[in-house]
Structure 1
Amino acid sequence: MKKEPRYMRDDVLNRTLKILGILILASVFLYMLTLLSPFWSALASALWNVLIPVAMAWLISLIVFPVVRLLERRGVGPRAVSVGIVYVLTIGVLVAFFQLIVPVVTQQVRVFFEKDYPLIIDYFQNRFRDDFVFGRAAYDFFAAAVVESAIISRSVEFFATSLTAMIPTTVFAVIVIFAILPMLLLFYMLDYERVNYVLKTLIPKRYKLMGRELSDHLSHTVGAYIRGQLFLMVALGLVATLAYRLIGLEYFLIFGILVGLANVVPYFGVLIAMIPIATYAYITRDVGPTPLLIIGINVFLQFVEGNVFQPIIMGRQLDLHPLIIIVSILFFGSLFGLLGIVFASPIAATVRVLYGFYHDRKALLDSSESLVESGHSP
């Protein structure tokens, strides 16, 4: 009778699952300590500043390293030449972006605050009461309740205090990320296989086969998902920008970029972005397009994204339910803010791959045991 590999045994799988659970609980415990102790808070902040560039370098390498491999297979030259070409192309795209897009966005933002921002403030101060869907009496009741509970003033005070405290650490973190990230990414792509080999040597010998298979599957699946999501964000942003331009929306570029960035939340990002855009269109409906056009465009884009592209990107590879993504975004967003929202989907995809790997191994183990019990060799 053929003996099943050690990594497929039930005790190994249970031990692996327990280790993952302990790591998650330890992370939550350390986060709770940061709320109680300045020392732990400073230590966690230092670790965070180190881990963020490493994690970003790994994620970016999943996106761009297939291009490096493609260039190598086409005989462009050694690894250094392929990596150099990718870097030059990336820098070229960034330069073109800052030369062509940023000036237009800056101009539209300036015009918005000079012309339309006062109109929006005036609308909510003077005219919103008349347009309130439940009537003036209901508006007065809700407004009095909000003022009495001091929700707005407390929220403003909380955000102002948090922002003031975050500015020094955030600026330092951004400087560290942009200073270290390009170098980390460069060395990681130059020695991609060697780095992965060194990491795999940290795995105990009896788990090497399982670790190698899981690592390859994780890199392929999560990398494909991230590349697909990035493509969707760019594509939806471009289509939305063009559509808004065609219907005469004044700040078409700003709102198009907003649609693309909002798609970091799969399935619902376009609808979330629709709310401020449709609100602006409603307030300025006398001089701009009707908000129904905005709603129609965004609903159509969301339908195409959710029913055509997302199943292709995630359905066959990850089978991630939208509810899982929403819960992940809420959870990691509440823990880590904006970065938590950005990384929520990749983290959810990683957890889904780990669960799928465990489930497949468990099913194979159960099948082997049933064959053994029935007297057949697997």
Structure 2
Amino acid sequence: MTLGAIFKRWIERYFSDEEAVILLLVLVAGFAAIIWFGRMMAPFLTALVVAFLLQGVVSALNRRGIPHLLSVIVVFLAFISVLLTLAFILMPLIWNQLVGLVQETPRMFASGQHWLDEMQERYPNLISPDQMQSWIGVASREISQVGQRALTLSLSSLGNVLSLIIYLVLVPILVFFMLKDRDALVGFVLSLLPQKRALMSRIWNEMDDQIANYIRGKFIEIIIVGSVTFVTFALLGVPYSALLAVLVGFSVLVPYIGATVATLPVAAVAGFHFGLSEQFLYVMVAYGVIQALDGNVLAPVLFSETNNIHPVSIIVAVLFFGGIWGFWGVFFAIPLATLLKALVYAWPRGISQRGEPAAIVVEESPR
């Protein structure tokens, strides 16, 4: 069989259905638009995620007999209250702690160098002077780079204050109209799609609940893990507890990797503040308990309705989509991996291999 015949057979197997071709074009156009215009459309995409997050609350209020417009107003005012709390209470606290941590970094570095000197004196055969000087040099370069990045970020942020203000104004406005006119907006998008869309409808029905559950579940998980971490670290007297709590809270966005990465700053701050003492051990044990409860209790409860994906697939999805879209790619890595899994299963192809009639896959009505 020639290469052309193999390619033709592959095309006939996977793209013989008209709806499959249209779905492929829609997906390619959507991904291309996000890749090329994602930075420009960031306020819209952010508002879309927030509206998707709040729509469940609006629907719950509607089911209780509250009119749609009143439900939207109540949810929107609650969202604005949370946003103002973050902007005027939490963010200044985190920023002050970040500035304090950057200012204290030289003292931490000096303490770490003194600790290495003591280790070299106690165990001269284990740590040679050349190794110690190499470690100190690497640490000095990393700390100087961190300081330069922080200075660059602070200077560049001064020129983006106006953009930030516009961003904070546009997102709430977009969220309000997305919630208020949801049916009209969805109807407009559907009017752009072909009339024959059984495959797209089935895939969307499968993904809609999973994406909604994932976004809301992640939001709840971040709040719970961050709050518990802040209270625990504050009770144990750990400095920069709010900053570390935010870091630990957002670490749940990246399964397996996030917890490992967040452990390093927690251990560094606790170690420099308490030394290798019992208090340091208490902090690390408490942090380990929080991570264990999150991974074994909280996450399974919040994401029980989400399809199970192999850890290797999750890590590959985080690396791939995070490399393309940054933070949002990491945030949506699992939903996008789930979408790809649903597409692979639902795509019209070799139906006889699964023992299903082709007509069922192509013409099945949305559930």
Q: TM-score range by the shorter chain?
A: 0.7 to 0.9
Letter in 1 for 2:109: I
Structure 1 residue 306 and structure 2 residue 295: aligned?
yes
Between the aligned partners of 2:262 and 2:312, the Cα distance in structure 1 is 19
**Using CA pairs below 8 Å that are at least 6 residues apart, which structure has the higher relative contact order?**
2
Deviation at 1:225, TM superposition (A): 0.3
What is the number of residues matched between the two proteins? 343
- The 5 A counterparts of 1:211-360 are 211-285=200-274, 290-314=279-303, 316-336=305-325, 340-360=326-346
Between the aligned partners of 1:269 and 1:313, the Cα distance in structure 2 is 18
TM-score using structure 1 length: 0.73
Aligned residue number for residue 70 of structure 1: 60
SS at match of 2:238: coil
Identity rate, percent? 20
104-113 vs 186-195, greater mean Cα deviation = 104-113
- The 5 A counterparts of 1:1-378 are 11-12=17-18, 15=21, 18-19=24-25, 22-23=28-29, 44=36, 47-77=37-67, 79-97=68-86, 101-102=90-91, 104-105=93-94, 108=97, 112=101, 116-131=104-119, 135-137=127-129, 139-140=131-132, 142-143=134-135, 146=138, 174-206=164-196, 208-285=197-274, 290-314=279-303, 316-336=305-325, 340-360=326-346, 362=348, 365-366=351-352
Distance 1:323 1:24, change over 3 A: farther
Between the aligned partners of 1:66 and 1:325, the Cα distance in structure 2 is 26
Letter in 2 for 1:135: I
SS at match of 2:17: helix
Deviation at 1:69, TM superposition (A): 1.4
1:96-117 deviations in Å (ceiling 9; x for gaps): 4456545654665566566x44
Gaps of 5+ in 1: 1-7, 32-43, 373-377
1:206-228 deviations in Å (ceiling 9; x for gaps): 2x223333333333211110100
The CA RMSD measured in Å over matched residues stands at 4.2
Contact 1:71 1:82 in 2 (8 A): yes
Between the aligned partners of 1:247 and 1:179, the Cα distance in structure 2 is 39
Distance 1:324 1:256, change over 3 A: same
1:278-334 deviations in Å (ceiling 9; x for gaps): 111112225986332222222222222222233344454232333333333333444
Between the aligned partners of 2:297 and 2:71, the Cα distance in structure 1 is 33
Letter in 1 for 2:41: L
Gaps of 5+ in 2: 1-13, 359-363
Deviation at 1:231, TM superposition (A): 0.6
Between the aligned partners of 2:303 and 2:82, the Cα distance in structure 1 is 27
Deviation at 1:347, TM superposition (A): 4.1
Contact 1:68 1:83 in 2 (8 A): yes
Contact 1:200 1:212 in 2 (8 A): no
TM-score using structure 2 length: 0.75
Between the aligned partners of 1:354 and 1:240, the Cα distance in structure 2 is 34
Letter in 2 for 1:219: D
Contact 1:49 1:173 in 2 (8 A): no
Distance 1:247 1:66, change over 3 A: same
1:41-80 deviations in Å (ceiling 9; x for gaps): xxx5xx3344212221221111101111121222222x22
SS at match of 2:253: coil
Contact 2:239 2:269 in 1 (8 A): no
